[in-house]
Chains A and B, each alone.
Chain A
Amino acid sequence: MACSGLCLLLFLCSHAAGNATLFISTSLFQSYADQLHSHPLIVSVFSKGLFLVFAIHIVTGVLLFLQNRKARPRNYKVRTRAIKNSQASGSMIYSGLLICLFVLIHTAAVSFGDHGRIGVTIAEMFGSFLLSMFYILAFIALAVHLSHGFWSMLQTFGISHPNYTTFIHRLSYVVPLFFLLLFGTIPLLFLFGTGN
C-alpha cells in the first residue's frame, strides 16, 4: 500500500503542478496539455503505468480490507475507538473508493475527451454546479485519505524518529491541506466566474 501510495503521491504532485497553470489562464493550461500530448510515447507509458499503480493500490487495498475483516470473525458489541481522530484511518477504504469513482469519471470526461480543447472542456465542466460539488467532495475525500495515508506511509517505511515526530505530525496536516486547496479552488474559480 505504502509503495503504490508513494507513486500515486508523486503523480499527484506532477498533476498538481500541471493544474497550477490553470490559475494563470486556461490557455496556458491548454498549451501545457498540448505540450504533454505532443509526446505520445511518454503519455502512453505514464498513463499505462499510472493505471497499473492505481490498480495495485486499489486491489491491495480492497484485499487488505477483506483480509483484515477476517482477522476478527465476530466483532465487538460495543465499538468504541480508544484514540481520537480515528475517522480518517477508519474510513480509508471508503474515502479510497470515492476517490476511485472520481478518477473514473474524471478520466472519462477529461483524459478520453478531446485533448485539443481540454481547456474548454474544463471550463464547461466546472460551469455545472453539481459536477463542481462532486469534484470538491472528492478532493475532501482525497485530503482525508491523505491525512492518514501520508503519515501511515512513512510509518510503514519505518520513517519515525523522536526528533522528527512533531514535524511528521505537522506534515500529515500540511500535505493533504495543500492538495485540497490547490485542487479545490479550481472548480470554485470556474464556478464563481473568475476562471478564464
Chain B
Amino acid sequence: MELNSHVPEGPLAEKWDKHRFSAKLVNPANRRKHKVIVVGTGLAGASASATLAEQGYEVSTFCIQDSPRRAHSIAAQGGINAAKNYQNDGDSIWRLFYDTIKGGDFRSREANVYRLAQVSNNIIDQCVAQGVPFAREYGGTLANRSFGGAQVSRTFYARGQTGQQLLLGAYSALSRQIKAKKVTMHTRQEMMELVLVDGKARGIITRDIISGKLESHSADAVILATGGYGNAYFLSTNAMASNVTAAWRAHKMGAGFANPCFVQIHPTCIPVHGDYQSKLTLMSESLRNDGRVWVPKKPGDTRNPASIPEEDRDYYLENKYPSFGNLVPRDVASRNAKEQCDAGKGVGSTHLAVYLDFAEAIRRDGEATILKKYGNLFQMYEKITDSNPLHEPMMIYPAVHYTMGGLWVDYNLMTTIPGLFSIGECNFSDHGANRLGASALMQGLADGYFIVGTSIANYLGSTALETVNNNQAEFSQSEHNVQERLQKLLRSSEGGPEGKFTVDEIHKELGLLLWDHCGMARNKEGLEKALLELPAIQDKFWNHLYIPGTGEELNQSLERAGRLADFLEFAEIMIHDALDREESCGCHLREESQTEENEAKRNDAQYSYVSVWEHQGEGEQPKLHKEMLTFADVTPSQRSYK
C-alpha cells in the first residue's frame, strides 16, 4: 500500500488555490456522461450529491433510512464553526486552523486542516443562501457564540438544532436535484460491497431493505459518506443504524483504514440505567459551566445526595485541576469520571455515574437565571430520567460520541483505492486525535460542498476509464459473494433459537469488551486481553447466532447481524491500533504514557504519524503503514490544565 498524501507544494495558505488550478477539469458538456455514486445522505453525502449534480454529473445516491433527511447529522446540537470574525474578536482562518490542529493534539495533516478553515466561511454563506434559519442579532446580522472552550465567538447556531437545520438545507438542495432528475435517490438501500474493476472503484452492491433483493450499481467513481463507527461499542450517542459496514467493505477491498482507535468519548451524557438500554443521549457540554462534578468520598456510599454533607463529597475535578476545575477538556473529564467509578465511588443504581450539581449555582444566581441558561436541557433530562436537576443533582457519565478515525484519504479525499472517495466522519482527515466542538458539521459540509467536486473532476479528467456495466463478471461475482455472506449469517439459525444468541446479545458483549479495554483509558495488558477474547465472541456470532426470518424480506435482525459481523472484524484493527500507539494523544490515553501527574503524555518523536491499516486477507494479521506527519507551520506543544 502506497501512502501519498498528494499535498500540493507551496506556502500553506496557497496550497488549495494552487491545487484547484492544477487539478484537471471535466468539460461541462461531458459531465453528464459520468456517473458518480454517493453512499450516505448526511451533511457530507447530501451536500456532495447536490453539488455534483449541479455541476452536471449523473449522481446516484443511497441511504439506509426511509428518507435522506434522517441521517444522523441531524442530531448535532451545538453549532458550526467558521472563521468569519463577524464578532471582531481576533478570529482568523489561521486561528481556526491552529485551534483545530492543536485540538486534534497534532495528529492531523496541516494542509487538510488549513483548507478546512479556509472554506469554513463559504459554508456559512452557502447555508444562509439556502434559507437555513441561523440565530440572529437584533440588527439582523448573524449571531455567534463561544463553544467548547474556544476563546473567540465563531460558532453559528440555530437554537439547539444546528445539525438538523444544516442537514435540511443540504437535503433541500438534494431534493431539488432529485426533482431535476440529476440525482437518482435510492432509499432503504444498504451498501453491501464495493466493486472494483481493474483496481478502480466502479460500483457497489446494495441490498434493498424491503425486498431483500441485491442490486448492482456501476459508476465512474464512488463516494462514501457513511459516517463513523461509534456503534462498535453498542452503546453510543450514534443513531441505531450507524455502522462501519460500507467503510469496512471498502477496507477489505484495499482501502487503508486510518487511526481506528481514535474515538471521542463525551463526558456529559445521561448514564446507562439498565441492560435494556439501546442508546445514550448527549447533554450539552455547556452544563459544566455552572454544574459542579462530585462523587461521595467513601466508596459504596448509597445515601441520597442531599443527605451527603459537604465534607463527605469529593469535587474531584476542582481538587485535581484547580485552575480549570469543571471545565477541563472532554477527554480529561471523561477519564476522571471513569477513574472515580472504577474506585467504587460511582452513584446511581448502576454505580456508573457521577453527580453534576447545580445547587450552588442556584444559590448564587437564583433558579430563574439557571433555568434561563439550561431550562431546555433540564427539561430534556427530566423527560428521560424523571428527575428534576433543580432539586437533585444530575447524574452524568461519558459515552462514545464521535470517531476521528476513518478511511485514509489523501488531499483529494481519495482513499488508497483509485476512484473511491471518503468524506465527512467516514474519513480520518481533519480532527487528528480529538475533535473540537462545532467542527464536525464544518468538516462534513466542507468536504461535500467545496472539496470533493474538485477531486471528482480531477480524477475523472485525469483517468482513462473504460465503460463498465452492472452485469459484467465483477458485479455478478460480488453479488454472489454478498449472497454467500448472507447465507452464512443465516446458517446457524436453522433448527430454532434454543441455545443460541440474539444479535443484540452478542453486540452488547462486543461493546462491553471494547468499552472495558479499548475505551477511555487503555493499557497493553487490557488490549492484549481484548484481542484474546475477541475470537470467542466472533465464534459465538458465526456459530451460535439466531436470526428469525429469511434474507428475502424486510428483516431488521438480519440487517443488524450484517453490521455486527463487520463491527466484529473491525474491532480487531481498532485494538491493534490502540496497542501500537504507545503514547497518549487526544482521546487516546495509554495508561503507560502519562506524566507524573497522571496526564496524557504525547510522544512526538516516535508517534507523529497516521496509522494506516491494510487488510491482508481473512484470518491474517492486518498490516500497519505509517504516514509521517510533518509540521512546517505550527510547532506541536503539550496541553496542560493544572
Query: Touching in the complex, A and B, CB below 8 A?
Result: no
